[in-house]
Amino acid sequence: METIILGIGNVLLKDEGVGCHVAHALEKIPLPNTKVIDGGTSPNILFLEDADKLIVVDAAKGGGVPGEVYRFQLDDIALEQKPFLSLHDIGLIDNLLLMRLLHNIGETIIIGVEPKEIEWGLELSPELQEKIPRIVETILAELS
């Protein structure tokens, strides 16, 4: 089995797409036994294969300074149970929990990055753009 790194977000909304930008930066680095996926806004995590570890990278509003990196495990997140009527109502956390039921996934780590700007635009804010190497280092440390 391998490690899967899943970058998610909407690249049309500047910093909301940070997970995808990080995935593209990681694709340039040879990472043995690691699969990097740009999941965009539709990560299709229900169709992921088994993995020893899953690392999800996404924008996360935690109240810190833009570019601040948060690390937490799926079990650390306070879950608010709410009914949903269709698959369009399922959020990331629900998808990750469902994925655990369908696949043999080891540890799930979420790397959240504090956004500065979530508005129309294809580029990351300068603050997040300069933090990409540090975010990549954080993920590489997770692999060791």
The full set of domains in the chain, from first to last, is 3-143 (3.40.50.1450)
Report whether pLDDT(137) > 70: yes
In 3D space, the residue among 101, 51, 98, 66 whose CA is nearest the CA of residue 79 turns out to be 98
For residues 26-36, give the mean pLDDT.
95
Predicted local confidence at residue 121, as pLDDT: 96
* pLDDT band of 144, cuts 50, 70, 90: confident
Handedness of CA 61, 142, 9, 72 (dihedral sign): negative
Query: Contact, 9 vs 59, CB < 8 A?
Result: yes
Percentage of the chain modeled with pLDDT above 70: 85
pLDDT in tens, 36-76: 999 888 766 656 788 899 999 999 999 999 999 999 988 77
Worst-scoring range by mean pLDDT, 64-68, 90-94, 125-129? 90-94
* pLDDT band of 86, cuts 50, 70, 90: very low
Place of tokens 């954080």: 138
Predicted local confidence at residue 96, as pLDDT: 75
Q: Which tokens go with 78?
A: 């306070």
Question: Where is mean pLDDT largest: 20-34, 61-75, 80-94?
Answer: 20-34
Query: Contact, 116 vs 66, CB < 8 A?
Result: yes
The amino acid present at 113, given as its one-letter code, is: V
Q: Is 105 or 129 the better-scoring residue by pLDDT?
A: 129
**H-state helical runs in the chain:** 18-27, 92-102, 126-143
In 3D space, the residue among 123, 109, 122 whose CA is nearest the CA of residue 53 turns out to be 109
What is the strand order of the sheet 105-113 is part of? 34-40, 3-8, 51-59, 105-113, 69-73
Predicted local confidence at residue 101, as pLDDT: 73
The chain-wide mean pLDDT, for the chain, equals 86
Q: What angle do CA 31, 102, 86 make, to 5 degrees?
A: 110
pTM, full prediction = 0.88
